[in-house]
Amino acid sequence: MASAQVINVTLPAVPQEWTAEKDFKALGSLSSTTQRNLEPVGPYFLAHARRKRHQRTFSEDERIQAQQTVKKTEEDDDGEISEAEDPIMLSRDAKDWKGQDHYAVLGLSKYRWRATPEQIKRAHRKKVLRHHPDKKAALGDRDENDNFFKCIQKATEQLLDPVKRRQFDSVDEAADVEPPSKKEVAKGDFFKLWVPVFESEARFSKKHPVPSLGNENSTKAEVDEFYNFWYNFDSWRTFEYLDEDVPDDNENRDQKRHIEKKNANARRKRKAEDTARLRKIIDDCMAQDQRIKKFRQEARAGKDKRRLEKEAEAKRLAEEKEKARLEEEQRKKEAEEAAKAERERNKKAKEAAKNAAKKNKRVLKASVKDVNYFAESGDASAQQVDSVLGDVELVISKIDSDELAALTERLNTAGKDAAGVKSVYVAEVKRLVEAGTVKEGEAKFFI
């Protein structure tokens, strides 16, 4: 235990003007003494107690503590990387390294493409501690076969190189998740069964983030975004890992070009097959997705609603058009009937006026006949009759029906008075002459 060290500290000097009588002021009083038990604590005391208990020196205790720390580290690694080693895998030929599962060799099967470089390094350290030839010899194992150790080294080399690891991940079928069948989806949870499939396929995507499958409450826009992304999926998968080895012999260049061309064709074929495989997965998922059916039903219902509304609107417009047509026809019919009635009335009025005109003309001719054509005695001569009737015909031809009726009324008033009848005609001829209808001297008798 370390010894106590005395440190000399010089107190500050008291000012010269300070005096205990006038400057000292007691702020409190000292309590009485109390006896207490003190217990040592802390990591250093615990280490001291451990050494005393086990009678260890400093170096012995540090060595044992280091061994326990290493053991605890290995146990922690076992908790994270605890896969049982397959006997077939242990007997694998190191030359066949391309056919081995690098993740399984390092005990990282459950992590695979998700394994971090730190996990790969820890797994490599654990495997080396267990399978290194020197370690096996120290444990008394005389087996000089170091193939599995070489497999460990090759797996570590492959997985710690980003380019080589991506080539292996491109063909790692053990990381694939098989899509569920229709029966499995019918009995189980659609989202729980399909989400792992797309999470596995998403490892090949060039674009991130990758849209999630969502849930039953996802909107149509979210579902459309998900399927559009996968139907236009941009994959970095290239399948170089499966290429046939190209010989390094420079003398056989034709053989080298042939193998390179063969590898390129094989990659394109595998790429096309993988694209078709992924497209079938998306088609199957979409066919089983009840949200798509729901959206289609909603769209169909909306389409039917719009169709019914359109048909109703078209029907309404047709009815309005038909109503307007019927009203127009009724209006035309009524107008035609009114015009026909008017024509009938006009026809009757014309016929009545014509008949009245004929009657009035007979009255005019009879008026001069009743007064014996104005002969003073005896029968009127033929010349006088012609002269009187000529003037009556002249008057009749120059007046309209109303004037004819008025003239007839005046003649009826005059009766058979020859002087009165003549004065009526004379006055009418004078009016016609003044109106310019009859020329001066055209009338021979009534002047």
Mean pLDDT is lowest, of 11-15, 213-217, 235-239, 349-353, for 11-15
Phi, psi values for residue 235, rounded to 5°: -100, 145
Phi, psi values for residue 306, rounded to 5°: -65, -35
Q: Is the pLDDT of residue 367 over 60?
A: yes
Residue 395 burial by Cβ neighbours in a 10 Å radius (0-12, 13-18, 19+): buried
Q: Is the pLDDT of residue 76 over 60?
A: no
Residue-level pLDDT at 163: 94
DSSP assignment string, 124-190:
HHHHHHHH-HHHHHHTT------HHHHHHHHHHHHHHSHHHHHHHHHT-GGG--PPPPHHHHHHS-H
Residue-level pLDDT at 288: 93
Which of the four pLDDT bands, split at 50, 70 and 90, describes residue 75? Answer: low
pLDDT average, residue stretch 98-125: 92
Which residue in 118, 190, 4 sits closest to 126, CA to CA?
118
Buried-state track 124-137, b at ≥16 Cβ within 10 A, e below 16: bebbeeebeeeebe
pLDDT average, residue stretch 312-330: 93
Residue 78 burial by Cβ neighbours in a 10 Å radius (0-12, 13-18, 19+): exposed
pLDDT average, residue stretch 217-239: 94
403-420 residue pLDDT tens: 888 888 888 888 888 888
Which residue in 430, 410, 422 sits closest to 374, CA to CA?
422
Residue-level pLDDT at 106: 92
For residues 321 and 196, give the distance between their C-alpha atoms in angstroms, rounded to a whole number. 62
Q: Is the pLDDT of residue 81 over 60?
A: no
Q: Is the pLDDT of residue 269 over 90?
A: yes
Q: Which two tokens stand for residue 303?
A: 């389409």
Q: Is the pLDDT of residue 1 over 50?
A: no
Which domains does the chain carry? 87-174 (1.10.287.110), 176-288 (no CATH), 316-446 (1.10.8.840)
Cα 367 to its chain centre, rounded Å, is 103
Residue-level pLDDT at 374: 83
Q: Is the pLDDT of residue 272 over 70?
A: yes
Residue-level pLDDT at 153: 92
More confident residue, 75 or 120: 120
pLDDT average, residue stretch 261-283: 94
Which residue in 202, 182, 201 sits closest to 193, CA to CA?
182
Which residue in 341, 338, 392, 334 sits closest to 363, CA to CA?
392
For residues 50 and 58, give the distance between their C-alpha atoms in angstroms, rounded to a whole number. 10
**% of the chain with per-residue pLDDT over 90:** 39
User: Are 215 and 243 in contact, with CB atoms under 8 Å apart?
Assistant: no
Mean pLDDT is lowest, of 125-139, 146-160, 355-369, for 125-139
Residue-level pLDDT at 137: 65
pLDDT average, residue stretch 381-386: 86
Which residues fall within 8 angstroms of residue 171, CB to CB, at 6 or more apart?
239, 241, 242
pLDDT average, residue stretch 203-232: 94
Q: Is the pLDDT of residue 152 over 80?
A: yes
For residues 45 and 248, give the distance between their C-alpha atoms in angstroms, rounded to a whole number. 67
235 SS3 class: strand
Q: Which amino acid is at 402?
A: D
Residue-level pLDDT at 140: 56
Q: Is the pLDDT of residue 2 over 70?
A: no
Beta bridge partners of 235: 205
Residue-level pLDDT at 248: 72
Q: Is the pLDDT of residue 277 over 90?
A: yes
Going by the DSSP 8-state scheme, the letter that residue 81 receives in this structure is: S
More confident residue, 250 or 34: 34
Specify which of 14-28, 62-76, 232-246 reaches the highest per-range mean pLDDT: 232-246
The helix-helix angle for 418-435 and 382-398 (nearest 10°) equals 50
pLDDT average, residue stretch 420-432: 88
For residues 89 and 96, give the distance between their C-alpha atoms in angstroms, rounded to a whole number. 11
For residues 69 and 393, give the distance between their C-alpha atoms in angstroms, rounded to a whole number. 157
Before 209, cis peptide (omega within 30)?
yes
Residue-level pLDDT at 69: 65
Residue 105 burial by Cβ neighbours in a 10 Å radius (0-12, 13-18, 19+): buried
Residue-level pLDDT at 13: 81
Beta bridge partners of 205: 235
User: Are 170 and 239 in contact, with CB atoms under 8 Å apart?
Assistant: yes
pLDDT average, residue stretch 252-272: 90
Count of Cβ atoms closer than 10 Å to residue 264 Cβ: 11
- Residue 209 backbone zone (phi > 0: left; psi -120 to 50: alpha; other: beta): beta
Helix ranges (DSSP H) in 202-289: 220-231, 253-288
Q: Is the pLDDT of residue 437 over 70?
A: yes
User: Are 80 and 122 in contact, with CB atoms under 8 Å apart?
Assistant: yes
